[in-house]
Structure 1
Amino acid sequence: MSLENEYEDHKADIAIIGLSIRLPGIDTVSRFWEAVLSGEEVVANVSPQDAAEGGAAEKPNFIHANTNIRNIENFDAAFFNFNIREASLMDPQHRLLLETAWEALESAGYDPGRYDGLIGMYAGVYANYYQMFNLLPLIYGNGTASELQMQIASEKDHAATMAAYKLGLTGPVLNVQSACSSSLAAVHLACESLLTYSSDMMVCGGATLGIPQSHGYYYQDNGLLSADGHLRAFDAQATGTLYSDGAGCVVLKRFSDALEDGDTIHAVIKGSAVNNDGALKAGYTAPAVQGQIQVIERAQMIAGVNAEDISYIEAHGTGTPLGDAIELEALHEVFARHTGRSAFCALGSVKANVGHTGPAAGIVGLIKTVMALRERTLPPAIHADSPHDRLMTGHSPFYLNPVPLEWSSPNQRRLAGVSSFGLGGTNVHVILQEAPVLRESPSLRRSNLFVLSAKSKEGLKRQKESLQQFLSSASEELLADAAYTLQTGRKLFEHRAVWLYGSGDEPEWMERENDTKGNQGLTSLPLFYFPHPVNFDAAEPGDWITEEPVFYRSYVQSMELAGQMFGRGDPAFPDRATYPIAVQISLFKLWDSWGIQPSGCQGSGSGLFAAACACGLLTLEDALYLGSSYLSALTTSGQERSVYVRNYRQRAVSLKTGPMKIPLTAPLGKKPMNQTEWSDSHLWTTYLMDALEEGASLQGVVNNVKDRLVLEMRLDEDLVRPAEGQGATVWRNVYRLLGKVWLEGCPVNWKGYYQGERRRRVELPAYPFERTRCWVEREASALDSGEPLTPAPEPVSLRPEQLIGYTAPRTKVEQDLVEAWELYLGVAPIGINDNYYELGGNSLLAASLHAHICERFCVTLGLEVFLEQQTIARLAKSIESWKFDPTSTKGGH
C-alpha cells in the first residue's frame, strides 16, 4: 500500500513504535515473546529449604511460588547521574520504570535530547513497601536523609516526573494511579495527549515490585490467591490469582508522524476508552459487569470497528472465579449484540504466564498483543485444560487455543482488544490493529558506519559484542537502517567506537587512541587540506562516482562549466587538468553537507584554488579556470606552456574575490594573510610564476597544523593520513575518515548524510547497564521486636573514573570533610580536588550535608558558600578562615 493511502486510512490512529519489558527471568521483549509463544510460566518453584531460609514456616497451606525479579537491589546509578546514596533511597520501582522508559525510547530509536518535538510520560507504580520496611529508619537514625529527600526518592508522585527529569522529557508528565489498570489508563491518556497535539511522542507504562521479596505465600480458602501456585485464567479449576513483579513501557506517536519519520511501527491503536463502575457493584473492590460492557463497547465505537471484526481479546483474566465470570459475562454481552458467530475470537490472559503484575499488568498485556499482531500468531492459553462453563456452550464467540496458531485474517488487517480493570472500578479497553507492511528502502552505500558510545569502557565493549551478534545475519537494508538508528537515535557518551562494515566487507573497528578519560570533544575544529595532486592522469570515473549524490551533482556541475569554458571537461571522460579541482571542490561540498565545519582551509599547488573556492574567495568558475591553467602550465613545456601561462595571467589580473567565509591559511612558507591580502590580484598573478621559477614543493605538505585534525580533500588510496592499507574502495576511505572525525567529538549532520535516502529507525540491542548494589537493608529483628531502629551501613560506590587524579587530604579539617562527604554521597575515596557535583551531589543533598558540616566544625557558613566552593580543598580554607575570623565575608550567613 502507498504512503498516501496509509495516511488516509490512519488519520486518527496512534502508532506503537517502542517496547520494553522486565519480568521474572525476562529482560527483553524478544525473550518475553519466546516465553509466551512456548507456553512458558515464569513462576519459579521454591524448595522448602529456600522457603525456610526466607523466613517461611513449613505449613500445609504454604505455596512455594517465586514471582520475583532478581537482583532488584542493583542499579546503574552512575549512568543516570545519581550518587549511590540517592539511588539507595529511591523506590526500586522508580528505578525499574526509569530503566524501562530508557529502553523503550532506545527501542523506538530516539534520543530525547535530539528530538525537536515534545515528549511526555504517563506511568504508574505499585505501593512503596521499600520505604516502609527499609527506609523509614533513616529519617530518625543518623539524619543523613531528610524527609523531603525521602519523599522525592520514594513517593508515587515522583515516579514519572523523576524519569522525565533524568531523560529530559519536556512534554506532559503525569503519574497515573488507578491500581491494576494504571499502565493501560496511561496509554489511553497518552493517546488523547497526542491527538490534541499536547505532545508529539509519549512514553507510558508501569512498574510493580513486591518488597520484601517472598519465597511464596499462605493460601486461604475463598481468598484471592491461587491454591496451587498457578494462575488459571478462564479455567473451570481456577482458584485464584498470583501476584508477580513486572514492568514495561511503550512509546507512542501519531501514526502520520511515525510514517513520515520512518519509525518502526509495531502495531496501531485504533481507539481506546476508560470509565469507572461508580456505585454499580457489590462493593468498592468488586468488579461490575455493566462498567466493563460500557468501556469495551465505547472503545470499539471510537475505533470504528465491529465486534465481529476482532479475532483476539487479551483479557484482564486474573484467575479468580468471580472476576473471570464477570469478565466473561461482559464480553459475551458485547459480542452477542453484534454477531451470532461462534468460536471466531481467541481469548487469552498473559497473567497465566507471568502472574498479576498490578499497575504494570495492562502494559504487559498490551505488549503481548502487539507481539502477537506483529508475528501474526495467536499464542497459547496455558493452564486452561478445562475451559470455563461459559466457553463450553457451543455458541460462545470465544475459544481458548492450547497451542500457538497462525493468526489468519484473509480479508482485513488483524484486530485485537486489550482489557485492564483496576481495583476501585477504573476500566480500560484498547483496540489494536496490525501495522502496515512497508517496503524496505535500498541503501546508496556499500559500506555502513556504525557509531557506538558508552559511559564506560566496559559498557562500550559490551555494546560492540551485542551489535556484532545482532547484525551478523542482517540484510543490506537492515544494515543501513541500523547504522542510521545508531547515528540519529542514541544518546552520545564519552567513550566511543566506530564499526565500518558492509555486506561482503571485512568489519573494521576504530576507537579513539589514548582515551583514558573518555571523549571530551574536540579542542579545535578540523582543518580542510587541499593537496596538489600526486597523479596527474585522470582515470575514467566508475560507478562509484554516483554513490554520493551531493558529490556527484557538484562534480557534474564543475565539469559542465569547464566544458563551457574550455570546450572540454566531459564528466564521463574528464581531462587531467580539470578533474582534480572538480573533485576537491565536490568533496568539500560533500563534507559540508555532512555538517563538518572546518576551522580553516589550506591548499598547496593547484589545491589552493579549490581551497579558495571553498572559503568563498573564488567563484567556482575562477577556481576551475585558474586551477586548470595552473596544472596545465606545470605539466607542459615550450609553446604549449606559454599559452596556459598567458591565459592564467589574464584571468588573475582581473580577478575579483568575494568575502572570505572560512579562514584560508597561507601557503607553505608564507605568513598568515587577511581578506585584503588574499584579494590582491598580484598574489594570484605571481603564484604560478613562483611555482615555475622556484620549483616550489607541490607534494602533500600541511603547514603549521601541529596536533589539529586534518581532512584531506582528495580521492585515492592515500586519502586517510597516514595511508591505511591497500584495496579499500574510494568511498570506504571517506567513511573511515568521517568515523575518525566523529570519534574526535566533531558533530555530524546525519540528516545531510542520508539526504536522498528514506531510512528507517529499527529496534537494536539496548544499552548494557552496569548495575551495582544500591540498597538499604531491612533491620528485620528491630522491626519485628519493636526495638529502636539503627540505619544500615551506608552503601559506597567507587570514585567516578572520569574525575581528575586523586589528591589525599593533607590536614585534619580536610580529612573530616572527606569523611562527611563520603558518608553523604556514598562515594569513596574522595579527593580534596574532586568536584561536589561531579561526585553526584545536588542542592537538596547539600542542605543536609551543609548542616552536618556546620555542626561538626562549629562554624556558621552560609549554604551559598558551600555550594560555591565545590571542592574539599576550597571548603576547608573557608572553614579555617571563619575560625580565624568569624566576621569574615567568606563565612557568610
Structure 2
Amino acid sequence: MLLKRYADALEDGDTIHAVIKGSAVNNDGADKVGFTAPSPRGQAAVIAEALAVGEVDPSTISYVETHGTATRVGDSIEVEALEEALSGAAPGSCLLGALKPVIGHTDTAAGASALIKVLLALKHETLPPVPDFREADPAIDFESSVCRVNAGATAWPRTPGSPRRAGISAFSIGGTNAHVVVEEPPVAPAGRRKATPGPLVLPLSAATPAALNTLTNRLADAFDGTDLDPADAATTLSLGRVELGFRRHVIVEPRAHAAEALRASSTKAAVHAAGGEDVVFVFPGQGSQFPGMGSDLYRDVPAYAAAVDRCAERFAPLIGIDLRQFLTVETTDDNDDLTRQLARTDLTQPALFTVEYATVMALQDLGIIPTVLLGHSIGEFAAAVASGIFELGDAITAVAARGSLMASTAAGATAVVRCTEDDVRSALTGTGACVAAVNGPRQVVVSGTTNDIATVVERLREDNRSVTLLPTDRAFHSPLVDEVVRPFDDVIRALGLRTPRIPMICTSTATMLDAATATDTGTWSTQLRTTVRFADSVAVVDRTHPDAVWVEVGPGTALGSLVRSCGVDTDVVATVGRPESAWPAGTAGADLAGRLWCAGAQPDHTSFAGSGRRVPLPTYPFERQRHRIGRSNHMPTASATDPVALTRAERPETGTEFVAPRSGLEDAVAETVAEALGLERLGAHDDLFAFGGDSVTATAVAARLSEAYPVTVTLADVMASPATPSGIAERLTSLLTDAVENMSEEEVAQMLSVLADPA
C-alpha cells in the first residue's frame, strides 16, 4: 500500500485506489475508568475530527470498517460513538463491517488491513459481509440506529455526483484512537487520448529467466482477457516497475493485439543485463562498411537522419559525391556497383564517420551518454567528436583529407592472423611488413607491400597459422603511409582541438587522452601510421569500468566480437545492422532502445512510454518455495538457550486430567500450543482457552502449524470445539488428507512419518 499526495498522483498518472479525505488520532487514556476500558467520548471525538479535517458531511458515510472486537462492552461503545459522530444521518444508512472475524487480531497491522479491505470493496463495488453474523447484541438498539451490521454481501456501486465514502476505525487498548475517512477514486477522464505514434516497447524484467517467462505469459493473458491498451502497458512497465537482471523487450504496434508477440518472445532466451552504470562506446574502423548501413535508422529515427543529412551535405563539396546514395538503400540486391565504390578509401572513411556520428546522435536522443569512448583507427575521429575534441565541421574536414591522402598512397596488402603478436613478429623478420593492429589475444593484423605480405603469409601458413587476406589494396598503419603523415598534420594544425569532455582512450598507446595529448596535432596525424592497440585499450577500459554496457557505434558486429575475445564478459549492443536484417518499417528506433535497456543501459523512458497511462498490470510472479525443517515425529522444540524455553511455566491444575498425546501429530500440536501458552507441556485433552489462551494465542498456533505443514491452518481450525491438541490434530489430519493429491512423494512420505504413532 503506497501513500502519495493526491496532486502528485494525478500529475504522474498513477492508478488511484482511494483518496484519504481526512484522518485523526487522539488519546482518551486519562478519561477512562480502566486501562482496557473503551471510551465512547474519545472514539466519537476522533471520528468527528477526521470528518471535519476532510470537510465531509457525516451523512455521506455509507460504510464504516469497525475496530470490531466482538466484546459486549467494546461493540456497544463503538456503535454508541458512531451514533454520536454520524448524528443526523438517516437510520440504517451506514453499514458496519469488521475484518477481525476473518483474520483475527493483527495488532499494529489492524488499521492497515482494514484500509486494504475498504480499497478492495471500492474496487469490486461490493461490501463483504461480517462472517457468521446471526443476530445483533440485544444491548445495541440497531432498529433506530444510523448503523446496521452488513450481514450479507451488499452491492456498493458508483453513483454519479455522490462519491462513495467510508470510515475506518482502529483503537488501541491503552487509549489511542485513530480514524480515517476515504473516498472512492476519481473517474478517469473520458474522451479520446492522443494516439502514440509509431511502435511501442514493452520492457519486461525478472530475477530469473523462468520468472521472466511467467511474467511475459501473464501479460499476454491480460491482453487476451481485457481491453488493455498497449500504450498503457508500455507506460506502466516503463515507469512503474523495478528493473531486474533478466530482461526482454517486445515491440508492438499502438493498436495491435500484443498477446501473440508476447507469447512468441517467451520462447526466446532472456538477456542478462550488465550490473554497472557505465556505458562504453566503441567505434569500428575500415572494413566494416556496406551499402545501406544504417538505412533503417535513417528511415525511422529523425535524430539519426538529420545527422546523416548534415554530414552528407558538408562532405559533398570535399569528396564530390552525396554519401546518402550509399547509406539510404534498403536492400542489398544489385548493390555490387555501390559496394565497389564504397570500398574506395576516400569514400569509405567519410561514410563510416557519417554513420558513426549519426549513431551517436541517435543514442543521445535516447538519453544514452557514454562514460568512456574507444575508436578503432578511423573510428577514433567519430569518438573524438563525441568526446568534444573536434567540432563536427573540423572533423569532417580532417576525415575527408585523411581518406583522400590514404587513397593516394602506394598499393599494398593487409592480412589477419590468428595467433599472438610475438608469433607474428617472428614471421615479419627480414620484411618491410609491420603489425598494423593487435585486435585480440590471438588476432593480429599485418600490412605492407604486396610482396612482403605474401612472404609473411607463406611463413605463417607453413607454421600452421590461420591467415586471411583482406579485400583491400592499401596497407594502413604501415610504412607505406609515412609519406602522408606530414600533409595530414598540416590539415590538423588548421583545425581547433579541445580538451575532452568525455574520457576517450587513445588506441595508439592504450592510455586515456589527457588535455595535452588530445590537443596535440601529432596525436591525430600519426594515428594513421601507428599500430592500433585495440586489445590493450579494451583491457584498460574493462579494468577501469567493470560491468559496463558496451555499445558498438557503427556498422556490423565485428568489433563486438573482438571485445568479447579480449575477455569482456558481456554482449556488445550492435546498433547498425544490414538492410536484410532490419526490423519492419518504423521499428528500428524502438528496437534499439529496447536492446540497450535489455543490456543494462538506461534509455530515456519516453522512448518506451509513449502517451499511455499507468494502469494495473499482472504483478511479479514470485517463485515461492516451501522450506521445511526435517523431523521424525514432533515439532522442533526450543533450545536450552531460547528465552521461551527458559520462561515456560508448569502445567496448572484445572481439574482436567492429564492425558499424554497418543500420536506423533498430537504430540507436535500439543508442543505448539504449549509453547504459545508459555507452558512446559499440555495434554491431549487440555483446552487452549481453559489454560489462559485467547484469539491471539490461537492465531499464533495457526501460523506456526501452517509454517510446519504443507497446508494452511486457519484461526477457525484452531478455535473450533474442542480447541484441544487432540481436536486440532484431528482437523489438521483432515486438511493434510485433502492435500495429499497435490503433494510430492517426498512430502507424502514425510507427512506419514509425522502422523505415524511412534509406538
Using structure 2 for the length normalisation, give the TM-score: 0.53
Offset at residue 306 of structure 1 (A): 0.9
State the 1:315 CA deviation. 1.4
Q: Is the 8 A contact 1:378 1:407 kept in 2?
A: no
Distance between the aligned counterparts of 1:653 and 1:265, measured in 2? 63
Distance 1:628 1:725, change over 3 A: same
For residues 238 and 161 of structure 2, what CA distance do their matches in structure 1 show?
35
The letter of the residue matching 1:297 is A
Alpha-carbon separation, structure 1, partners of 2:183 and 2:298: 44
Q: Is the 8 A contact 1:293 1:330 kept in 2?
A: yes
2:121 pairs with 362, 369, 372, which one? 372
3-state SS of 1:408 partner: coil
- CA 1:313/1:781 → structure 2, altered by over 3 Å: closer, same or farther? closer
Query: 2:709 aligns to what?
Result: none
Could you say what secondary structure the match of 2:180 adopts?
Answer: strand
State the one-letter code of the partner of 2:265: P
2: CA distance between counterparts of 1:422 and 1:673?
A: 65
Structure 1 contact 414–433 (Cα < 8 Å) conserved: yes
Alpha-carbon distance between aligned partners in 1 of 2:370 and 2:41, rounded to the nearest angstrom: 65
Instruction: Please state if 1:469 is matched with 2:469.
Output: no
1:256 matches 2:256: no
2:51 matches 1:300:
yes
> What is the RMSD of the two structures over their aligned residues, measured on CA atoms?
5.1
In structure 2, the gaps of 5 or more residues are 252-257, 330-346, 409-483, 531-554, 630-634, 653-670, 672-759
Q: For 1:712 and 1:624, how far apart are their aligned partners in 2?
A: 26
Structure 1 unaligned spans of 5+: 1-17, 19-250, 454-458, 514-518, 547-551, 637-644, 691-697, 793-893
- Do the aligned partners of 1:275 and 1:428 also contact (CA within 8 Å) in 2? yes
Report the Cα distance in structure 2 between the residues aligned to 1:308 and 1:632, rounded to whole angstroms.
Answer: 87
Tell me the residue number matched to 2:374.
601
Residues 414 and 542 of structure 1, relative CA distance in 2, 3 Å threshold: farther
State the partner residue of 1:707: 567
Query: Aligned in 2, Cα 1:572/1:360: closer, same or farther, shift over 3 Å?
Result: farther
C-alpha separation in 2, matches of 1:369 and 1:673: 61
The 1:674/1:595 distance shift into structure 2, 3 A limit, reads closer
1:741 to 584, 587, 599: 599
Residue 658 of structure 1 pairs with residue 506 of structure 2: no
Give the Cα separation in 1 of the matches to 2:12 and 2:556.
Answer: 46
- The 2-side partners of 1:428 and 1:523 are apart by 45
Say if 2:637 is the partner of 1:777.
yes
Give the AA of the match of 2:231. Answer: E
Q: Report if the CA contact (8 A) 2:239-2:605 is conserved.
A: no
Q: Work out which of the residue numbers 577, 580, 583 in structure 2 matches 1:716.
A: 577
CA distance in structure 2 between the aligned counterparts of 1:258 and 1:349, rounded to whole angstroms: 29
Q: Is the 8 A contact 1:362 1:419 kept in 2?
A: yes
Deviation at 1:431, TM superposition (A): 0.8
Cα distance, 1:417 vs. partner? Answer: 0.7
Q: Distance in 2 between matches of 1:265 and 1:286?
A: 38
Match of 2:163 among 397, 401, 413: 413
Alignment CA distance shift 1:658-1:344 (3 Å)? same
CA gap of 1:288–1:335, structure 2 versus 1, over 3 A, is same
- 1:716 counterpart letter in structure 2: G
TM score, norm. by length of structure 1: 0.46
Query: How do 1:417-816 and structure 2 match up within 5 A?
Result: 417-438=167-188, 445-453=199-207, 461-462=210-211, 464-466=213-215, 468-470=217-219, 472-474=221-223, 475=228, 476-485=230-239, 489=242, 496-502=245-251, 503=258, 504-505=260-261, 506-507=264-265, 509-511=268-270, 521=275, 526-532=280-286, 534-537=289-292, 545-546=300-301, 552-553=302-303, 555-556=305-306, 559-560=309-310, 563=313, 581-591=353-363, 594-595=367-368, 597-605=370-378, 607-624=379-396, 627=399, 654-662=494-502, 664=504, 674=513, 679=519, 702=559, 706-708=566-568, 709=570, 711=572, 714-717=575-578, 730-731=588-589, 733-735=591-593, 737-739=595-597, 741-742=599-600, 748=602, 760=614, 764-765=619-620, 767-768=622-623, 772=627, 777-778=637-638, 783=648, 785=650
Please state whether the residue corresponding to 2:86 is helix, strand or coil. Answer: helix
- 1:299 Cα deviation (Å)? 0.7
Q: Secondary structure at the match of 1:311?
A: strand
Q: May I ask how many residue pairs the two structures share in their alignment?
A: 494
C-alpha spacing 1:701/1:634, structure 2 compared with 1 (3 Å): farther
Asked if the contact 1:481/1:759 (under 8 Å) is kept, the reply is yes
**Distance in 2, Cα, partners of 1:768 & 1:486:** 21
CA deviations on 1:588-646 (whole Å, 9 max, x unpaired) are: 245455456344321455x443222112222123335555787899999xxxxxxxx9x
In structure 2, the residue matched to 1:33 is: none
Q: Structure 1 residue 365: deviation in Å? A: 0.9
Cα distance between partner residues in 2 of 1:540 and 1:344: 69
Pair 1:276 & 2:134 matched: no
Q: Compared with structure 1, are the counterparts of its residues 362 and 597 closer, same or farther at alpha carbon in structure 2 (3 Å cutoff)? A: same
Residue by residue, what CA displacement relative to the aligned partner does 1:488-519 show, whole Å, maximum 9, x if unpaired? x36x6xxx311222435331554578xxxxx9
1:545 Cα offset (Å)? 2.0
SS at match of 2:167: strand
Q: Distance in 2 between matches of 1:635 and 1:441?
A: 53
Partner residue in 2 for 1:91: none
Q: Is the 8 A contact 2:122 2:156 kept in 1?
A: no
Indicate how the Cα distance of structure 1 residues 561 and 671 shifts in structure 2: closer, same or farther if over 3 A, else same: closer
The CA distance in 1 between the partners of 2:314 and 2:298, in whole Å, is 24
Given residue 734 of structure 1, which amino acid in structure 2 is its aligned partner?
L
CA 1:391/1:365 → structure 2, altered by over 3 Å: closer, same or farther? Answer: farther
* 1:350-399: CA deviation from partner (whole Å, max 9, x where unpaired): 22332333332222111101222234433334333445665752663656
Q: State which structure, 1 or 2, has the greater radius of gyration over its C-alpha atoms.
A: 2
Give the structure, 1 or 2, with the largest relative contact order (CA under 8 Å, sep 6 or more).
1
CA–CA distance in structure 2, aligned partners of residues 277 and 673 of structure 1: 70
Measure, in 2, the Cα distance between the counterparts of 1:376 and 1:301: 26
Q: Check 1:759–1:364 CA distance in 2 against 1; reply closer, same or farther (3 A cut).
A: same
CA shift for structure 1 position 263: 4.2
> 2:102 is matched with which residue?
353
